[in-house]
Structure 1
């Protein structure tokens, strides 16, 4: 039920944004607005999804470790050296704190940590992609 509500809310947000953009007469301003607000809309979407993923309650005895799904995606996208240097330590620290909170019975704190981890990993991944791309472009510029 919560997933359906979230998907409907995200759909309404996108439709409102699209209507607002296409009411602008100038094509150049439309493109500028789309490029300017695309990262913000992406962040809002990721926040809503990460909150949903971080707060859903599972009744299974054996569950995957927190952030296993996003970790698989990050491992696929990022080279091993960068993953070990940047992401692995953050995951290890988070899981230690998460399990400590779960063991002490602070379920809401553990859920909040889960949400924070998703947001941290996503923002770190975007930052890594941006700096990596900028470094490659600078190296290419330096060669020419």
Structure 2
């Protein structure tokens, strides 16, 4: 299954979600992107990398890219980090496309670039990933 994690700039939440999902559900093919293009080509934000590294996740080889319409056909599932990202993704959905777009967690994953709460962000992502992992192990859809 190919999964795409999407946040605003692809330098904090979505690369962290990509790394966490890769670690927890290794047989998923996971990528990440941002709805905005400001950081295309940049590595994840330094403080996010440090917080992730402290938990055993290496984000250093990831680079930001922008979400595109082609992602609807390239992925089986698109995971948005918050309701605004989900809305921005849905606004690009091609007519007739049925690729599911779901939120990462039951609540928005706050953007630590603004809140500075990198550990809180990772807590939410890890908790959501554990639920996905349990569903995956039981044979249920990841979301």
TM-score, with structure 2 as normaliser: 0.29
Q: TM-score, normalised by structure 1?
A: 0.29
Q: Which structure has the bigger radius of gyration?
A: 1
The structure carrying a bigger strand percent of its residues is 2
Greater helix share, 1 or 2?
Answer: 1
